[in-house]
Amino acid sequence: MVRGRISGLSVRDVRFPTSLGGHGSDAMHTDPDYSAAYVVLETDAGDGLKGYGITFTLGKGTEVVVCAVNALAHHVLHKDLKDIVGDFRAFYRQLTSDGQLRWIGPEKGVVHLATAAVLNAVWDLWAKQEGKPLWKLLVDMDPRTLLSCIDFRYITDVLTEEEAFEILQKGQVGKKEREEQMLVQGYPAYTTSCAWLGYSDDTLKQLCTEALKDGWTRFKVKVGADLQDDIRRCRLIRNTIGPEKTLMMDANQRWDVPEAVEWMSKLAEFKPLWIEEPTSPDDILGHAAISKALVPLGIGVATGEQCHNRVIFKQLLQAKALQFLQIDSCRLGSVNENLSVLLMAKKFEIPVCPHAGGVGLCELVQHLIIFDFISVSASLTNRMCEYVDHLHEHFKYPVVIEKASYMPPKLTP
């Protein structure tokens, strides 16, 4: 039973010096310090439960997100949680349509990252009060109630609420069996931990070898800074993991459109499943051109971790600009907006392979992708969730990986 009024909202700037070891390094972000704006919501319910929410950053700038969270706080404080989740669509729109704050968005950038942190905390509090992990709260939710959490504004030309309802209704078939499958087998994952751009060859080989022993079969390598270096590193990794394992590549927005096509034609010999973020995340038509050009090479395009909002995803799908869609649990407007993207991806039959890693992204996005399989996509074909083995020790309930799969979080006290 949802209860209590929001009596407190605090936010902290939390940073880890991951740049010292080259962890997280890629062609565009050479010295990331994995960080988060960490939001805590308290209520007057007297049950001791708190809602925790984060948004992921790379160090400098986290203080700006903290300021944005504080600027949004008046929309949350002294509100009954029951009223918030009872008309979640309206509350989402209230946060994203603040008449003054939206000028520094709208629904993008720092103000949207702050919105995600606040909403993530609301969802966490709601799930705790219902006594369920988030994925289970979503799976058990009546389809109409679930859809009432989504703002369909700007996407009804692609997905109406009635179409979304039909998707969820179809997802009811076999739902119980899929939930049981997740509880036993987990959701398939791939690892990015082995091949950061700042790692030495010896480290790459050592980490790939250890990952193989641990049962990993899907690997991602960072590329884009230097072609000859990429060829050498990709050859080393492919030789280490063998021809039958899955390899993905990630350029982190480094290239122009023609450059992306030319570069990938040189890396095609290593048989990558996809090239991730080959160019600017805002360039829908550029992604479409790259996607079309790489079809003869058998290489797909993946993107999404820095897509501003559901509208960008809508256009990527309309333009046939990607073969793998990568949601991010903190870049979009929390669970609410991610639900709309999962439903659009289902309509277009594009597999969702979430971005994760950072600080808490694995802990968050596992709930969304497990829900997606059970209630929306009903498929594991060409689907996997990113895993990065950093900083999980700082969480009270870290992700559980077994046999290279995310095991669904259980109810916690």
Round to whole Å and give the CA distance between 41 and 72.
Answer: 13
Decide if 205 is catalytic. no
Residue 170 designated active-site: no
User: DSSP 3-state assignment of 349?
Assistant: coil
Give the Cα separation of 339 and 367 in Å (integer). Answer: 11
Rounded to the nearest 10 degrees, the angle between the axes of helix 88-96 and helix 109-130 is 160
User: E strand or H helix at 180, and its extent?
Assistant: helix 175-185
Q: Which of 220, 222, 287, 390 is catalytic?
A: 222
Q: 113: buried, middle or exposed (CB in 10 Å: 19+, 13-18, 0-12)?
A: buried
The span from the CA of 393 to the CA of 214, in Å, is 19
Residues 6+ apart with CB under 8 A from 234: 221, 223, 247, 249, 267, 270
| Active-site option among 23, 132, 355, 367 | 355
- Tokens 């929001």 correspond to 6
The amino acid at residue 227 is: L
Q: Which residues pair with 402 in a beta bridge?
A: 405
First to last CA, the chain: 16
Q: What is the distance between the alpha carbons of residues 103 and 327, in angstroms, rounded to a whole number? A: 24
Residues 6+ apart with CB under 8 A from 229: none
Catalytic residue ranges: 222, 355
